[in-house]
Amino acid sequence: MAPQPGEAEFPLKVELHVHMDGAARHQTILDVAATRGLIPHCKTIQDLKQEIVVSKPSTLDRLLHSFATFVPVFAGNRDAVYRLAYEFCEDCALQGITYAEARFSPHLLANTFEKPVYAPEPGNFSPRDVVTTVSEALKQGALDFNIKVKEILCCIRNFPEWSLEVAGLCREFRDSVVAIDVAGPEFLSGMDPTQCPHKLAFKEVEIAGLHRTAHASEVTSSEMIYEALDEYHVERIGHGYRSLDCEKVYQRLLKEGIHLETCPISSVFTGGAPNGKVIHPILRFAEDKANFSLNTDDPTVLDNTLTDDYLTAKEFGLSDDQITQSIFNAARSSFLPDEEKRLLVSELVTVYGDQW
Ligand SMILES: [Zn+2]
């Protein structure tokens, strides 16, 4: 079979920003939903896609609504969570992704609350059980498909009561978990760092010697960047498109070499960076030699592969060289230990040469 456009140019990839709980295969959602009697009105892949795939520029809230439809299929079910994580590895390998950092919220896949957010009913599958299950599945998947995967655990902005437990899980599972993140609807905490549970969780993780990234300035103001850098002490920013609203904050990102995990297709569909006549933020990042990578974000909802995102970046105006550079940026800004990072970069060098 002839390779898809984009596959031949970029055979080896690195992905830093993908929500594993937003990367389920459509077929798997249907299979598991059928066994649990969920989303009964979706019988075919086409029905399901109509329900959850965001196919035109929309809002971040619309994306979050799709999650509420399909995450319940996995939430609270060990076998389903295992399958989700295991297939994630196979999908990486099929796309030529040699290293991925898979992020997820342990709490959104658990059911040990009186009113679980996504699980259909309460049960005894705890956030800790979720991390145990995902870690086992990723370990087996990485072995079977010959790739490397690490985990990033997400706090959720509108559930501050979970964050300290997330920090504890990061520390406990530090063999497989490399970092903490904060995701969900975007708004400034505005709380003092000594009071805000998210900021306290980030602090705890930093003291433990683990890494930090945060969703910021995807759809709201550049103010979020200051909070992420100065109060969450992040080393990378998820998205960051709106940093361009404030030249001062943008220049700081450039000067400090803060890595921006950009997601081309997602940026259009969330309204984070509408694809209009103006220059797309990712093209500006590339032209200014900012430290950025290209990522899929939520393949279940966006129905995209990483190659689709590279091709979309090309439509924004990025050159093949700029895309290759972004793959090396991702490797160098990954949260792997130094020696493993060096090996990852040299793996890329064997494919793309050493000029990057
Ligand atoms: Zn994200």
Domain map (residue ranges) of the chain: 13-349
DSSP 289: T
Judged against a pLDDT cut of 90, whether residue 166 lies above it is answered with: yes
Mean of the pLDDT values across residues 312-324?
Answer: 96
Distance 283 CA to ligand 1 centre (A): 19
Q: How confident is the model at residue 194 (pLDDT cuts 50, 70, 90)?
A: confident
What share of the chain has pLDDT > 70, as a percent? 97
DSSP string, 300-341: HHH---HHHHHHHHHHHT--HHHHHHHHHHHHHTSSS-HHHH
Is 161 among the catalytic positions? no
Which pLDDT value is given to residue 7? 80
pLDDT of residue 195: 86
Distance 156 CA to ligand 1 centre (A): 11
Q: Ligand 1 centroid to 30 CA: how many Å?
A: 24
Q: Which residue has the tokens 């959850």?
A: 52
Structure confidence at residue 55 (pLDDT): 79
34-65 confidence digits (pLDDT tens): 999 999 999 999 999 999 998 777 777 777 78
User: How large is the average pLDDT for residues 340-355?
Assistant: 97
Range in 1-10, 77-86, 138-147 with the lowest mean pLDDT: 1-10
Residue of higher predicted confidence among 82 and 218: 82
Inter-residue contact 213 to 238 (CB < 8 Å): yes
The residue annotated as part of the active site, out of 218, 227, 231, 261, is: 218
Model pLDDT for residues 74-114, shown as the tens digit of each residue: 999 999 999 999 999 999 999 999 999 999 999 999 999 88
Q: What tokens were used for 79?
A: 């076998």
Question: What's the mean pLDDT in 132-154?
Answer: 98
Distance 342 CA to ligand 1 centre (A): 26
Distance from Cα 185 to the centre of ligand 1, integer Å:
10
Sequence-ordered strand ranges (E) for 220-323: 236-239, 259-262, 292-294
Residues flanking ion ligand 1, Cβ below 5 Å: 297
Confidence category of residue 188, pLDDT binned at 50, 70, 90: confident
Kindly state the percentage of the chain with pLDDT values over 90.
81
| Closest alpha carbon to 341 in 141, 171, 99 | 99
Transcribe 117-184 into DSSP letters.
SSSSS--S--HHHHHHHHHHHHHHHHHHHT-EEEEEEEEETT-GGGHHHHHHHHHHTTTTEEEEEEES
Tell how far the Cα of 17 is from the centroid of ligand 1, in angstroms. 6
pLDDT of the residue at 193: 78
What CA–CA distance (Å, rounded) separates 103 from 227?
21
2 CA from centroid of ligand 1 (Å): 32
* Distance of alpha carbon 157 from alpha carbon 160, whole angstroms: 6
Measured in Å, residue 350 CA sits from the centre of ligand 1 at: 30
Which pair of structure tokens corresponds to residue 144? 């079977």
Phi/psi-derived region of residue 271, left when phi > 0, alpha when psi is between -120 and 50, beta in every other case:
left
Q: Quick one: pLDDT band at residue 279, thresholds 50, 70, 90? A: confident
Q: Report d(CA 53, CA 50) in Å as an integer.
A: 6
Residues 6+ positions from 42 with CB-CB distance below 8 Å: 30, 33, 48, 51
> Does the structure show a pLDDT above 80 at 254?
yes
Query: Phi first, then psi: what are they for 153, rounded to 5°?
Result: -95, 135
Q: Which residue has the higher pLDDT, 12 or 8?
A: 12
Which CATH number applies to 13-349? 3.20.20.140
Instruction: Please give the order of strands across the beta sheet that includes 97-104.
Output: 13-19, 97-104, 148-156, 177-183, 211-216, 236-239, 259-262, 292-294
